[in-house]
A and B are shown apart, each in its own frame.
Chain A
């Protein structure tokens, strides 16, 4: 049966009902609207899982095709940088969820602080990434056509170029999501400081938080597959 209770007398505006200003006209309660928004965000996250998943699948299948080249190629990746980035993102997930908690409990200024901390972590992530990329450029470890590293064991094989093609594609797409996240989180922080969020309405913080955790989750898989596999 229907899962929502609906007040039949809450018709179009002007019937004496006081609506939360954030409530859209086709919803009958804020709870219904919040639950629906969450479902919408999870559906979007599922599409992200499948998008990145497609890249993971491609990487896995190419690894199966060029096992020696891929293992040799991954030696060029800097494990320490990757591990640091993993830790940085996990911490950013922590600050994110604290921000949601603060927004939910009417502590806008605190939420803004945690959001800025999340942005800072993301910034550190991108800096380490830039440092790693720079190292790759110097060594000629570039995608596809641009690969010009010397001294590979399996001479003339395409496997190395393919590895780095996938490396740049996946870390690049992930990095793009980090950048987008930084912009969204900064916007949220400004709004939180302004007092836009409260226990009655904190949906944007919650939803963008979910997005941020997904970004973290993608890295959780990316790191071992690229940096740690023997």
Chain B
């Protein structure tokens, strides 16, 4: 069946490699948990994701055998992550670059409501709320 590997399988060596892989993964887990107790500011998320990516790569290459498999399988795996990356990239591009849509070059409008005797001074409306304008019938529909 898998004629490529049959003559080359040495179960003991394979098992040893798997054990080494597991050890690496466990060490990386300890590191990432340890790193989470130290405050690196913005660096925390980068470190955590970087270590997670290394672990995922080790799982993919050695437990999932991508390192010795036909290239098409690795291509499919990578493609999935690339398309996910595109989704994240453009979404974050959008949400992090949104600006206040209201005009920035107008002076804030001051709305004088008729103050009752002794009441506090007139309120100012926010610049983005021309709803107080008397001509606007633009009530909430």
Contacts and interface: CB of A to CB of B under 8 A. Distances in A.
Q: Quick check: do A and B touch in the complex, using CB within 8 A?
A: yes
B70 interface: yes
Contacts of A79: 33, 36
Interface stretch (A40-48, A142-150, A162-170, A175-183): A40-48
B95 A38 contact: no
Contact of B32 (A35, A46, A65, A228): A228
A217 B108 CA distance: 53
Interface string A27-44: 000110011001100110
A90 B29 contact: yes
Interface in B61-120: 63-64, 69-70, 72-73, 76-77, 79-81, 83-84, 87-88, 91-92, 95-96
A229 B52 CA distance: 12
A220 B56 CA distance: 7
A225 B53 CA distance: 12
A217 B87 contact: no
Interface in B16-47: 18-19, 21-22, 25-26, 29, 32-33, 35-36, 39, 44-45
B87 A57 contact: yes
A53 interface: yes
7 contacts: A39-B72, A45-B77, A60-B92, A102-B11, A203-B1, A216-B59, A230-B44
Interface of B: 1-3, 6, 9, 11, 14-15, 18-19, 21-22, 25-26, 29, 32-33, 35-36, 39, 44-45, 48-49, 51-52, 55-56, 59-60, 63-64, 69-70, 72-73, 76-77, 79-81, 83-84, 87-88, 91-92, 95-96
Given A49-B84, A64-B96, 13 more contacts: A30-B1, A42-B76, A50-B83, A53-B80, A53-B84, A87-B26, A98-B18, A202-B1, A203-B1, A220-B55, A224-B32, A228-B35, A230-B44
